[in-house]
Chain A
Amino acid sequence: MQRYIVMRVGQSVIALLILSMIIFALGRVSGDPVIILLPPDATKEAEDLLRASLRLDQPWPIQYWEFISNAAQFDFGNSIKAKRPVLEVIGPKVANSVRLGLAAMVVTLVIGVPLGVLAAVKRDTFFDGGAKLIAVLGQSLPQFWLGIMLIQLFTVQFDLLPASGTGGITHYLMPAFTLGWFVAAAIMRLLRSSMLEALDGEYIKMARIKGLPEWKIVWKHTFKNALIPVLTFGGTYLAAFVTGAILVETVFAWPGLGRLVYDSIIWRDFPVLQSLVLMIAAVVISVNLVVDILYAYIDPRIRYN
């Protein structure tokens, strides 16, 4: 187990290092910042001075080292748009995104789990068909478009829900639903097939022979086992949530990290964008690490693979 943990931590660190190198390299190929920052008639001396003050005259390895050691101290430079340290720009947005993410997760579980189980238990019935329809739509509707259409329906037509920003619980409904449906569809499909497989098991026949009530067979014996394959995709769901959050926060003008990604694209605010990518990547990689270690702890077969 110890060996497995050391190995997984090592892999995560390497993944993060590779990513930081790519980000660093992209920052350098996107053009000389000195030329962008200075007026076109600037003198050669002014250019050299600025280059030295940005430390762009140093060799690349030294520049890279400064980049990651600053990043490790949460110093990401200044935002081009806000003209303030990047961390000050990002900081206040974190809580908003976490709140929206949790709301979306509730939506995902409320839609995905019952429908996945129902579709498997009532296989090839009306319920199965309905669940399939919801899953297909969830995976085929572009989230940014779904959000706009919900605004069109519930704000413009019926004037029921607020179209943008944060506030009371009504502000959460449309963004959380838009964000949650996509992952709910994935969970539903996976849960359905793993429930079907589990329902086929010998121990379920045994439970039936013993005369257990059907709800107990479904929820206690089948569901618990069917959940394992669904949980292995935890990292993938997180990735889908992050991707979705960028689109959904943009549509609903939600003051979170996703909206900030959009703003920094529009403003070509590279310092903010690179910090966001690095920080979100660090979070995603850490979550994956924790999930994998927990998983190896629960299921010994993984450690020796």
Chain B
Amino acid sequence: MATLSTTAAGGQALLGRSWLALRRVRRAPVIPLAIILFMVFTAVFAPLLSPYSTTTPSLADRLTPPVWQEGGSWAHPLGTDALGRDLGTRLMYGGRISLLVAGFTLLIGGGLGTAIGLVSGFFGGRLDAALMRSADSTLAFPIILFAILLVVTIGPNMANVVIAIALVLWARYARVIRGEVLALRERDFIARARVSGCSNLRILVFHLFPNTVNTLLVLLTLQVGWVIIVEASLSFLGAGIPPPTPAWGSMVSGGREYVDTAWWVSALPGIAIMLTVIAFNLFGDWLRDTLDPKLRQV
């Protein structure tokens, strides 16, 4: 009798759980995911999707409005900029730049921050205090200034933009991962790993790190948007990827002079930034609620 009721209860719990799982899937952010996939798709296949070059000017076509407006044509569905370059094409290639910068920055900055967080939380003591103090200082410093300085002195190119943003990005990872490690370190499985003769390095890499992956995934997703905005801001200020390479930020900047006659030149790259950032933020919010609800404060 007793076994029967436990199995029944177990069955119910299982049913409840799968129902929950189902609800979760249903609540998955379909629209943000669609936007992200669309951006990635157009960025990857840009050369196949458009016959135009991103840099060759075509002065006869300059400032053609988008197709839905008077004077627009299907030759340039999203219109052209002041040099007659197809805006849609430049947006797709600009998406490439944004996604590449975000990818590399998160890889380097997130990797560095995670390593520091693991070491800091695991060893503790003075090292921990010093590392966390530096992380706090980095977080409370208007780091775009530092990025500007770096890019202006060493030269504006993609590698320097990535390095500059990564130098800022590590701090949040270090803080959050360290917090995780502090809690994990006291758990039984770490003590057992130690008893069975694991070295510190082995515990860090094979026992602690895998347990922080959920948190890491959430943080990475939530920060794609932030990196895209910082990169666009740097490009807008002329301290990012230099023209004529199409970056969304410098495209907004290039359209500023035509705000009263050709709104689309500035507006469309901005809309691209906004949609991408919102999509990544909403997707990240959902991922956090699903994988790691305790990160809500981050």
**Cα distance, A298 to B146, chains bound together (Å):** 33
State the interface size on chain A (CB cutoff 8 A). 51
Residues in chain A near residue B139, CB distance under 8 A: 235-236, 239
**CB contact between B233 and one of A11, A144, A266 (< 8 Å): that residue:** A144
In the assembled complex, the CB of B248 is this many whole angstroms from the nearest CB of chain A, namely 8
In the assembled complex, the CB of B23 is this many whole angstroms from the nearest CB of chain A, namely 16
**Cα distance, A186 to B82, chains bound together (Å):** 37
- In the complex, whether A270 has a CB less than 8 A from a CB of chain B is yes
In the assembled complex, the CB of B156 is this many whole angstroms from the nearest CB of chain A, namely 9
- In the complex, whether A276 has a CB less than 8 A from a CB of chain B is yes
Q: Which chain A residue lies CB-closest to B260?
A: A156
- In the complex, whether B202 has a CB less than 8 A from a CB of chain A is no
Q: Which chain A residue lies CB-closest to B150?
A: A26
In the assembled complex, the CB of B272 is this many whole angstroms from the nearest CB of chain A, namely 10
- In the complex, whether B74 has a CB less than 8 A from a CB of chain A is no
B124-146 vs A, Cβ < 8 Å mask (1 yes, 0 no)? 00000000010001011111111
Residues in chain A near residue B238, CB distance under 8 A: 262, 265-266
Residues in chain A near residue B30, CB distance under 8 A: none
State the interface size on chain B (CB cutoff 8 A). 44
In the assembled complex, the CB of A204 is this many whole angstroms from the nearest CB of chain B, namely 20
Q: Are B229 and A142 in contact (CB under 8 A)?
A: yes
- In the complex, whether A30 has a CB less than 8 A from a CB of chain B is yes
Q: Are A140 and B154 in contact (CB under 8 A)?
A: no
Q: Are B154 and A29 in contact (CB under 8 A)?
A: yes
Q: Are A246 and B144 in contact (CB under 8 A)?
A: yes
For chain B residues 254-298, which have a beta carbon within 8 Å of chain A?
A: 255-256, 259-260, 263, 266-267, 269-270, 273-274, 277-278, 281-282, 296-297
Q: Are A247 and B236 in contact (CB under 8 A)?
A: yes
**Cα distance, A144 to B273, chains bound together (Å):** 11
A211-244 vs B, Cβ < 8 Å mask (1 yes, 0 no)? 0000000000000000000000001101110110
Residues in chain A near residue B225, CB distance under 8 A: 139-140
Q: Are B153 and A239 in contact (CB under 8 A)?
A: no
Q: Are B273 and A27 in contact (CB under 8 A)?
A: no
Residues in chain A near residue B274, CB distance under 8 A: 140-142, 145
Q: Are A148 and B237 in contact (CB under 8 A)?
A: no
**Cα distance, A5 to B21, chains bound together (Å):** 51
Q: Are A26 and B154 in contact (CB under 8 A)?
A: yes
Q: Which chain A residue lies CB-closest to B297?
A: A193
Q: Are A140 and B278 in contact (CB under 8 A)?
A: yes
**CB contact between A142 and one of B133, B146, B233 (< 8 Å): that residue:** B233
- In the complex, whether A273 has a CB less than 8 A from a CB of chain B is yes
Q: Are A265 and B141 in contact (CB under 8 A)?
A: no
Residues in chain A near residue B153, CB distance under 8 A: 26-27, 29-30, 270
Q: Are A265 and B239 in contact (CB under 8 A)?
A: yes
Q: Are A145 and B270 in contact (CB under 8 A)?
A: yes
**CB contact between A247 and one of B154, B233, B270, B273 (< 8 Å): that residue:** B233
Most buried by A among B149, B236, B270: B149
- In the complex, whether A280 has a CB less than 8 A from a CB of chain B is yes
Known contacts A148-B256, A239-B139, then 9 further A-B pairs from the complex at CB < 8 Å, ordered by chain A residue: A137-B278, A142-B249, A142-B252, A143-B233, A146-B270, A239-B142, A265-B239, A266-B238, A281-B141
The list of the 6 closest CB pairs from A to B, nearest first, reads: A145-B270, A235-B140, A242-B142, A30-B153, A140-B277, A239-B142
